[in-house]
Structure 1
Amino acid sequence: MFKAMTKKAKLMLMLAFVASLSLQSSFAQDADAVTDEELTQYATVMNKIDSMKEDLQVRYNEVIKNNELMDEGRRFLELKKAWGDDAKLAEISATDEEKAAYQGILDEYDNMVAEFKEVYPNLIKDDLGAALYNKVRNAMKSDTELKTKYDELLASMQSTDEGDSETDAGGSN
């Protein structure tokens, strides 16, 4: 049947086929398009995760500052620079007690990070689901407009959170 067709008919058939493929592709893209609701869900979860990261950093800094041997962080930084090099530790006169305290801080930080790494994927799984998380994340890689919209949404959420925490702090006086 294909041999009996004229060149013009074959060309028309090919064009129709290509058009149907591109139509299917655009329908598939529309079906896979990230909705505003999905983007908001994603941003909400990522905002929670960013907040958890900030809390982890604050807790870590408090552990350092609250350790008497770390001189509010100054000695910690000296030990950090020399850590792993016995000659440098001797050069800064690091005591066994300071080394033990420094190692204790590192261990506590490792525990905080492990706790975060345990909670982080569960938060994504429970609040978003892996499919939605991957859909939005992958869409933002190729869609700069969507990424910009996400960044603006996240910034808005973060500024709202900061306003809420300032209000909370001001209200407790």
Structure 2
Amino acid sequence: MRVRSIFAANVLAIVLAFAVRSSSGQERALSADQTRVVDTVKEIFAAAAVDDLAKFHAVVGPGFYLYDAGARFDGDAIMTLIKAEHAKGRRYEWNVTEPDVHVMGDAAWIAYVNKGGVTDASGTVPQQWLESAFLERRGGVWKIVFMHSTRVPAAPPASTVSMR
């Protein structure tokens, strides 16, 4: 009986350890590399907010492309679209929240919730996007080579997918 109790206690300790490690990305500290990856994503948003093509080029790698709004945007195409939106009076706020960052040598990927909004003449509409990016370290600097963005509907549909 004592052996069974010790075994049960050890199993419980292991389960609790994994549960704590699996908790929200905001609860654990990021490494220096992980922080640089998050900062690189923030920099692409800062560049887009002010139509700064030079700053955009400083954070993307060769062959950069993005999937957004059901389309593929190669190279500068996303900046061209955003500049046109700005010309129409539309502004975007983007924020990296809940980052889940994985670094493997000179490669990294990040998944995060982009919480922000879209502002035009009628006002500001809060918006969220589920996003991810793949980065490569080139010359000691993180460069974004791929991004993907999916807008979260105002009322997400109930899940109908079974995980069994």
- What TM-score do the two structures reach when normalised by structure 1? 0.26
Choose 1 or 2 for highest CA Rg.
1
Which of the pair is proportionally richer in strand? 2
Looking at both structures, which has the greater relative contact order when contacts are Cα pairs under 8 Å and sequence separation is at least 6?
1
- What TM-score do the two structures reach when normalised by structure 2? 0.27
Which of the pair is proportionally richer in helix? 1
